[in-house]
Chain A
């Protein structure tokens, strides 16, 4: 049992591997291990007692209960352990399997951390595996394309400079039919809020920009959006292991906000972008924290609610269930505020999934997995069975999921497992229910 029993053809992995030799692999593996990792990786690999407590932590393992090769320690067994045993000298075909495992069978969600008594971070180990794969030039085609997009356009979706401002102005125009005085201020210096989004929003989730503008307008927020590249807070490079580009992206993003002298950045409802900004990308750039305060939409909406700036014309009909995006909950502890918001917005109960809050099950789409594209969709959806079972057991019709990737993952999952459940952003619900005085 293992990754090599379930290899999936991907042109990016295949071409990458075709350029490798065991000697090249050994050189790169050892260079990464020696130069880029330190005490953490060494201690983790040495003190893992192979106790197997982490086995049922992972949603992949829970969805494949008879296959130990999906467990967190099982993932490490098939990857880092082998590299260390063989001093990095492995065959190209082995790297194929290692890459597929690291990129598509781990969401870096860190649920396993709640199960390990020693405090081993399997997500970190998988990140190092991805780094090695990136340096070897072996990455899945789809996610590598988004990494290229980041390099070329500073955003994830090949949105050209003028397409960005065009899209914002288009949404502004549309929104002004509903709110005649609404503006999406571009490049406003000294604004309180710099609202940043991920590239899929202008590309195919434009209604989220519309909704955000409507909410900002109704709440009387002093906000702006940037007109130049640097507006995309997303970071697929963090997930491919292209840390150099990740650093450039985050620096561009922060400098874009600093140039406008804004008080703080409010991020759209996304998970990984948040991680990249406050945890991973900033560290690569040498910042302990982030040079401009960053707040997630959940927290921002919660503040608006607390300050009475969201006035509801009606409430959203419950009951609902809440999906806790890993990067925002295990990543930033926002599960309580999320629920306070939901209780304010919903007329009905929150029916929790069996695993919720910090112990939630991942949607199986995050960590770059859904971004590896169609070749891996079935494997991803299969890994989401445990989550689907938990969602089904709630018996409700709506899932509140404040994260783009989670939406993608849950949409695929609810379809595949025939769950008749709608998936909503907080922005969706607030916009739907808020007072629209000018309407």
Chain B
């Protein structure tokens, strides 16, 4: 057990982070080169002003027609993404790891709150899953890849919750949790989760085209 733990928190962790960073850079560079050859006019129209304007509106809940027409989903989406980053970064157990491995220390969320927020994330994932099954419009367009993406993101939170609460065998659960987290990192550049990397560009382009060419708002 110990050797496996050493492995997943050591070399495998380095590998996972490297795969995430290198993979993301690889995809970004590849996409940029593709755009340069095939979407030259799109690149020519990119504008800082209109990109930032569009991003500002879409990153604000209810500041766009799309958000306003889907209120429940808007709340769920913003909360989910906020916690997706905030919980792993500021959880006490993780803050301790940063300190232990790299000597970096920063404030942490108190444990009970971290626990509660994890439940919120899991509940939100359940909301997304139920919605995907129940809403006819969403069900119609769903593919396997959408379920895979949800599972990949849910796994670290479920395993983390079970590990913290020491439900089932802790030693096994903690390793599964670490593996789940590493899987998510590695999956980001190569699955739907790549929207983390690309969305700022698609948003910027739409903002630039609507603002600069069409003189209209894209929200």
Q: Which residues of A contact B (CB under 8 A)?
A: 1, 36-40, 42-44, 46-47, 49-57, 61, 66, 68-69, 71, 73-74, 76-77, 81, 113-121, 278-279, 283, 288, 329-334, 358-359
Contacts and interface: CB of A to CB of B under 8 A. Distances in A.
Nearest to B143: A50
Contacts of B205: 40, 119
B219 A114 contact: yes
Interface string B35-50: 1011101101100000
B154 interface: no
Contact of B32 (A39, A55, A114, A331): A39
Nearest to B59: A117
B42 A40 contact: yes
A38 B33 CA distance: 9
Interface of B: 31-32, 34-35, 37-39, 41-42, 44-45, 54, 58, 64-67, 69-70, 73, 77, 132, 135-143, 146, 149, 192, 194-195, 198-199, 201-207, 210, 213-219
Q: Is the interface of B mostly helix, strand, loop or mixed?
A: helix
Nearest to B55: A119
A42 B199 contact: no
A69 B216 contact: no
Given A39-B34, A43-B202, A47-B202, 9 more contacts: A39-B42, A68-B136, A77-B141, A81-B143, A115-B65, A115-B66, A115-B70, A119-B54, A333-B214
Given A68-B139, A115-B69, A118-B195, A39 B35 contact: yes
Closest 8 CB pairs of A and B: A38-B38, A333-B215, A115-B66, A68-B140, A119-B206, A52-B138, A39-B35, A55-B137
Contact of A119 (B65, B77, B203, B214): B203
A58 to B, nearest CB: 11
A274 to B, nearest CB: 11
Contacts of A46: 192, 194, 198
Contacts of A121: 206
Contacts of B70: 53, 115
A288 B70 CA distance: 36
A68 B138 CA distance: 8
A77 B142 CA distance: 9
Contacts of B66: 53-54, 57, 114-117
Contact of A39 (B38, B65, B132, B204): B38
A245 to B, nearest CB: 19
B54 A52 contact: no
9 contacts: A39-B38, A50-B143, A71-B140, A74-B140, A117-B203, A288-B45, A330-B214, A333-B214, A333-B216
Contacts of B37: 38
B194 A47 contact: yes
A180 B64 CA distance: 54
Contacts of A69: 140
Contact of A50 (B45, B141, B199): B141
Contacts of A61: 137
A44 B218 CA distance: 16
Contacts of A334: 215
Contact of A358 (B38, B143, B217): B217
Contacts of A52: 135, 137-138, 141
A81 B144 CA distance: 13
B202 A42 contact: no
A352 to B, nearest CB: 15
Contacts of B32: 39
Given A53-B70, A119-B205, A359-B65, A40 B136 contact: no
Contact of B201 (A43, A51, A55): A43
A43 B54 contact: no
Contacts of B219: 114
Contacts of B77: 51, 117
Nearest to A111: B65
A77 B219 CA distance: 24
A76 B140 CA distance: 11
Most chain A CB inside 10 Å of its own CB: which residue of B45, B54, B70, B203: B70
A190 B105 CA distance: 73
B38 A37 contact: yes
Given A121-B206, A330-B216, A38 B142 contact: no
A119 B210 CA distance: 11
Contacts of B204: 119
Given A57-B66, A113-B206, A118-B203, A42 B214 contact: no
B202 A119 contact: yes
B23 to A, nearest CB: 14
B149 to A, nearest CB: 8
Most chain B CB inside 10 Å of its own CB: which residue of A1, A56, A71, A119: A119
A47 B199 contact: yes
Contacts of A288: 41, 44-45
Contacts of A1: 140
A358 B217 CA distance: 7
B73 A113 contact: no
B64 A74 contact: no
A120 B73 contact: no
Contacts of B207: 119
Contacts of B69: 53, 56-57, 115
Given A39-B35, A77-B141, A120-B202, A53 B73 contact: yes
A15 B209 CA distance: 37
A13 B135 CA distance: 34
B203 A332 contact: no
B203 A39 contact: no
B192 A47 contact: yes
A52 B142 CA distance: 9
A387 B56 CA distance: 30
